[in-house]
Amino acid sequence: MFLSTQEDPAEAGNGRGDDAKAVLGLVADPGLSAELVDAIGQELPALLAEREDGPERWRVETSSQLLPLDEEGALPLLDIGRRQREEQGWDVTVLLTELPRRAGRQPIVADCHPEAGVGLVSLPALGAFRVRRRARDTIAYLVAAHLGNAGGARSAAEESGGERKSPGPALGFSYEIISDREERRADIEEDGSEDSDVQLGTQGESLHLVLTGARGKLRLLTGMVRANRPWRLVPSLSPALAGAAAGAAFGVFYSNIWQLADAFSTARLILVNAAAVLAMIVWLIFDNGLWESPRNRRLRSESALYNSVTTLTVSFGVFCMYLLLYAVTLLAAFVAIPTGYLATTLRHGAGIPDLATIAWLSASMGTIAGALGSGLAGEDAVRRAAYSERELERQAQRDKEEQRTDREATRAEEHES
């Protein structure tokens, strides 16, 4: 865990201390949240002063630590927030996490408990781009509108009926504020369960900032993919990359492949390329057990979203691997194939386009070989590379719930017999 304080140098120099200022504490999960929290903390005091139309009255402190889940796999927001406020002496605490949140099918950007002065921002709901700016603006909105003072809390309670729906000029996206009651109703309508992955407690009114429309769902999907950081998948696929390189090298040095590449139309090359990449994606997902097929009804309702995220994550990683393989193969073709000899073999003039076509077919052949080589990569290594820490934790919790469901089903069968 680290703790840092964002302080205005001008105030430190003129003797005007920060003691009179309210303290906003930001606690970030390891990973993307921790990478963003310091920069956000530096920008928030001035932004909050602008939002509140007054002088700077906030001092921001930041820390990074793994936010623990309780036995039911939920994030105890109030417990963590209150403990941090007591230990650090903060007035308001906001948590940043990679834990995705939904009310039914609506993505939740943020939760807050105005009376307790505790809030949470879910980074996946902010999308894949401009995450730092969106997170900063969302935190500023929570503090200025809901957590900063009693007046803001009263205004928040008035908006908790779900009637506010606006483009959110401070946030840049359409949102709606709903209450705990509406969140529970949305969950029940979706999967018949009141389970929540964030525990806000029972005292006072808790509010949820949810995205609206299809763009909100798409933003959550892309944000979850970004949280997985799919580019990390490439180093974990070194056995696959080695197999792919060997297959591609065969194409570079074997003259029959040159003739085949020359005979292929562009459409056929695209088809072979797509088939090779698809084979690698399917092999990685199913060979490493990344596809979710839970038996529990509540978990099944989430599986479509998480399987979509897995498919996009692996697809992005494989695409990055293919681009790397193609670049290496093209370089090898330039170095190893004399254009004069290539022209003699193809019986027509040869140049850079022909070398690029040979590298294209060779890389596609190598990708198919790499799909088989990916089986040599450890399943745990692939899972750690494909998923964020929060997603791995969720999957572990899912496995426990599946085991509990199996035990309950077994006991029910024994009781009936």
Per the prediction, the chain carries an average pLDDT of 79
Please name which of 37, 169, 33 lies closest in space to residue 100, comparing C-alpha atoms.
Answer: 33
Question: What is the 8-class DSSP label of residue 105?
Answer: T
The pLDDT value given to residue 3: 55
The strand pairing partners of 75, in sequence order, are 198
Question: What is the 8-class DSSP label of residue 212?
Answer: -
Tokens of 134: 């969106």
**Contact by Cβ (8 Å): 244, 370:** yes
pLDDT digits (tens, 9 = 90+) for 352-372: 999 999 999 999 999 988 877
How much is the pTM? Answer: 0.78
Tokens of 1: 């865990």
Mean pLDDT over residues 169-186, rounded? 69
Region of poorest pLDDT, from 43-47, 191-195, 227-231? 191-195
Backbone angles phi, psi at 260, to 5 degrees: -65, -45
Burial 14-53 (b: 16+ CB within 10 A, else e): eeeebeebbbbbbbbbbbbbbebbbebbbbbbebbbebbe
Other beta carbons within 10 Å of 366:
30
Tokens of 62: 């930041």
**Contact by Cβ (8 Å): 352, 59:** no
Instruction: Find the length of the chain.
Output: 417
Backbone angles phi, psi at 46, to 5 degrees: -70, -40
The pLDDT value given to residue 152: 38
**Contact by Cβ (8 Å): 99, 62:** no
pLDDT higher than 50, residue 159 = no
The pLDDT value given to residue 366: 93
Where residue 337 falls among pLDDT bands split at 50, 70, 90? very high
Residue 106 DSSP SS3: strand
pLDDT digits (tens, 9 = 90+) for 384-415: 777 777 677 766 776 676 666 666 667 776 67
Where residue 150 falls among pLDDT bands split at 50, 70, 90? very low
State the burial class of residue 202 (Cβ atoms within 10 Å of its Cβ: 0-12, 13-18, 19+): exposed
Where residue 278 falls among pLDDT bands split at 50, 70, 90? very high
End-to-end CA distance of the chain: 53
pLDDT digits (tens, 9 = 90+) for 182-227: 665 665 455 545 445 555 554 557 888 998 888 888 999 999 999 8
Where residue 330 falls among pLDDT bands split at 50, 70, 90? very high
